[in-house]
Chain A
Amino acid sequence: MSDSIQLLLFQLGARVFAARAENVRRIAGPSLERPEDGVESALGDPWDPRRGLVVEVAGEERTLLVDGVLGLKAVPDSDFQALPAFARDVLPTAALAGFAMLDEVATLVIDLPTLLREGKGAALAPSEETPRHA
């Protein structure tokens, strides 16, 4: 399976994001985890945080509260498009890894460890309209 990547699809607010499955240590339910473990991110706040994505950051587990986990999907490498270099230089965050075509829809692939490490200060403005098609 070297020619595909495993993406975890999650919903936060009104938008659907993707993240590499290997970056998620486990999925937690908010009722099972301590709410204070959830961290704010540049993706904005969830409406109804029912799931938490537990990520190891610098040897510690940090949880990104999300509205839901939609599932896991294997995406061919050809459907993943890394963020161009000039875009990485322009954007205030380094948590945006690239785009993946999921059912013909361009979905942002988030680098969760970077996102949780940056915190809310390197915000990816919620109002910004992220291009959904590469």
Chain B
Amino acid sequence: MPERNSAGRARVQKAPRRERGAAAIAAVLRAHAGGDYKKRVDLEGLADPELVAVARELNLAGKKAQERSDEVAARMEAVRVGLDEAINAMVRLVVHGDLSGTLRLAASDAALTPLIAGVAQVMETLKRFVREIRDAALQLSSSSAEVLAAATQNENSTSQQATAVHETTATMEELKGASHQIAENAQMVASIAEQTLSATRQGEGAIRAFMESMEKVRRNAVEVDEAIVKLSRRVERIGTVVEVIDEIADRSDLLALNAALEGAKAGEAGRGFSIVAAEMRRLAENVMESTREIKNLIGEIRESTHAAKEASDGNKRMAAEGERLGGAAMASVTGILSGAQGTSDAARLIHLATQQQRSATEQVVQSMGEIEEVTRQAQAGSRQATGAAAELARLAERLAGLVQRFKVE
């Protein structure tokens, strides 16, 4: 184009009329190129027939282009109107929520067919979405109500659980104190049982020593008894000898009396005889007096030996009884020792068990404290969940209310 323009300007310079015509044509062409199809070349001002022909064709083309442009503008207007209608219809549908109908447009331009189809599809999609959202909202409302009920129940349960856990914790605290007391008592019982066992062992040793002493007493009593029997026999022997001596003394006394009697009968001649007889009699009486004393002593010894014999027999009986009682006591103490041993073992086991129980109880108390804390947290969470469920239920109701605004059927 710049080359043609420079050539035209050269021809104008050579032929001014022809150049003016070309310039007029060029001006019309530039107007057409700018979209102004109403511009026409003035044929009257053209002298060159070739330019006239060109101008004529240009004017004709401009006319056709104008017609075409008008036609397009009309179609564009129709489309714009259709779009406005569609948009307005959709806006109304959205605002009023009525999706039950179908989109009907006054414009019937074929170009709007895809748009109408698209809008219809969008509306169908919206209907489907609304239906699904409504169903989901209903389900959500129902579910949120169930969730709310469950959350409320859960909150109540959690509250009851917290109360129960608190009471259980308090009970476990008391149990912990009781376990501590039981453990101390069990330790005391174990200590007493050990002392009892030790005392019983000492008692067993004492009874054993007592039985040995009783055995010695019994042996000593037997020896004493034998000694008493020997002593009694010796005393009897002495008594026999004394009886003989006494009898001899009595005979001597009798002889002396008869001698004295004969001496007295003999008068002065028997005086010396009487003196000797009197002396003999005095000696015999002395002997008899001594034998009487000996007899008295023997009697006392007999009584003493008899008493000693009875005492010895009593000692033997007492020793035998003591041995029997000692044996019975030993049997009893053996049983007691066995029982004390069993008691001590059991007390030790109880002590150990109570210590374990106390430790376990303390652990349970600690765990219960942790459970209580967790329960407290769960209770708070449950309250929050209940609040959230209530909020969710409200939102679900609100959503359902919103969705209800859309009519799809």
Contacts and interface: CB of A to CB of B under 8 A. Distances in A.
Residue picked from B247, B263, B264, B278, most chain A C-beta under 10 Å = B264
Given A1-B268, A71-B281, A72-B274, A26 B261 contact: yes
B13 interface: no
Nearest to B277: A72
Contacts of B268: 1
B261 A29 contact: no
B320 interface: no
A21 B258 contact: no
Interface string B225-267: 0000000000000000000000100110010011011011101
B264 A29 contact: no
A29 B267 contact: no
Contacts of A51: 254, 257
A77 B173 CA distance: 129
A50 B288 CA distance: 13
Nearest to B260: A72
Contacts of B261: 8, 21, 24, 26-27, 72
Interface string A1-30: 100001010000000000001101011110
A123 interface: no
A102 interface: no
A50 B254 CA distance: 10
A104 B108 CA distance: 203
A81 to B, nearest CB: 21
B257 A27 contact: yes
B254 A29 contact: yes
A77 to B, nearest CB: 15
Contacts of A22: 265
Given A29-B250, A29-B251, A71 B257 contact: yes
Interface of B: 247, 250-251, 254, 257-258, 260-261, 263-265, 267-268, 274, 278, 281
Given A27-B257, A72-B260, 8 more contacts: A1-B268, A6-B264, A28-B254, A32-B254, A71-B257, A72-B257, A72-B278, A74-B264
Interface of A: 1, 6, 8, 21-22, 24, 26-29, 31-32, 50-51, 69, 71-72, 74
